[in-house]
Chains A and B, each alone.
Chain A
């Protein structure tokens, strides 16, 4: 993609379906945005959560402005507010993201990094706007915390942690099939260290690394270090022996479909 010269950030309210919490036409937004942005050299990310869209668009000035003009009159958005723009930006923050969708900022260190980079701009916003960004990205900006302190009470880890944005198209890696699925499911839910993956899947550390290095997995893998941990560590402290308390249903389903040590 060519170098961008403009970045624009906006917040809008989503028009929700009459039933449920899913915004109207979200499916089409996903499909159309990916195609449109690829064709027009636009990158960035879109987050939807709790009734609000928060979006960063980066690309040439004319492409970004044309797209934002479309969004402002799009009936799936209302109360569209341009939060800030940056000119002559030179490099992309989200170079490989044609239009990545996220439901919360904790799924991506790039979003943390970007909001850290824009800290002064965020702090200059009206408090009501900061509260709405909080809702959308699950942060604590309105209380004055920076993005890296968003998960209050959590501790920092120096371990590498991993998270999968999507499953690989096949689960066959020459290892125990059921354990591999357990590991992949664990990676979809939260950030995990190698040790946690070993504990949750019963694979060895070497086997866990083997799966993480597979191109189909690596392509969808995010890695972080020294970031705020999720709640896993705290929860595990009150879950002293999950193996013994694992309900029969889950054990039996695993053993019905294949050998698994009980």
Chain B
């Protein structure tokens, strides 16, 4: 039987969650992007759960789930919030970082309680000034630490495989470190 792990990408409108799943997935990603009816700065936006997958050999796979980050979609969060291997909160780079949706996602998923690795990935960072990016990383890191989570904040180019792979690799490393410390069970993957 094939072992399976789930990595959720939860993100604001335009944060790149559908793009990153298309970039990482080895199958044609199932996306739920639809044409926006209001001006959100792009033509299409996610209205349901996107899905992609990476097979790691014949007996192992990583499922990639993309879910809207606004609180009104929290009923969708429950569909993926079971035995998650990791959560990546996607947020578009901005001079005024907003924590409202991140607040709602952390309150709902409660990754500290379930010991689920939680990463904040800042997209569209290539067009942001370096000082602004440093400020964004500090703001999100401070917030994560206050929620008893490590400061796992990173930048990502969702169109680049090399950059996008850093998210599953970082989650992987966090799990690995815990195994080395004997602080985590291996969820039956051995």
- A48 to B146, Cβ gap below 8 A? yes
> Bound state CA distance, A48 and B168, in angstroms?
29
Told that A22-B103, A250-B179 touch, could you supply 16 new A-B pairs with CB distance under 8 A? A20-B108, A20-B113, A22-B107, A34-B142, A101-B146, A165-B141, A178-B169, A181-B169, A185-B152, A188-B174, A219-B134, A235-B181, A236-B180, A249-B60, A254-B169, A257-B168
**CB-contact partner of A107 in B125, B145, B174, under 8 A:** B145
Kindly identify, within residues 194 to 230 of chain A, every residue whose CB is under 8 Å from any CB belonging to chain B.
200, 219-220
Instruction: Tell me the A residues contacting B by CB distance below 8 Å.
Output: 17, 19-22, 25-28, 30-31, 34, 46, 48-49, 99-104, 107, 164-167, 169-171, 178, 181-182, 184-186, 188-190, 200, 219-220, 231-232, 235-236, 238-239, 242, 245-250, 252-254, 256-258
**Which of B29-37, B41-49, B94-102 is the contact stretch?**
B94-102
* Interface presence of B92 (CB below 8 A): no
With A31-B97, A100-B142, A247-B189 known as contacts, the answer to whether A167 contacts B125 (CB < 8 A) is no
A19-B108 in contact (CB<8A): yes
Number of A-B contacts (CB under 8 A): 168
- The listed residue (B99, B155, B176) touching A170 by CB distance below 8 A is B155
**Cross-chain pairs A/B with CB under 8 angstroms, 19 sampled:** A17-B107, A25-B103, A26-B147, A46-B146, A102-B146, A104-B148, A107-B145, A184-B170, A185-B174, A185-B176, A200-B177, A231-B181, A236-B180, A242-B179, A247-B179, A247-B189, A248-B190, A250-B172, A250-B179
Chain B residues within 8 Å of A171, by CB: 154, 166
Interface size on B, residues (CB 8 A): 60
B84 interfacial by beta-carbon distance below 8 Å: no
Chain B residues at the A interface, C-beta cutoff of 8 Å: 3, 5, 54, 56-57, 60, 62, 97-100, 102-103, 106-108, 110, 112-113, 125, 130, 133-134, 137-139, 141-143, 145-155, 165-166, 168-170, 172-183, 186, 189-190
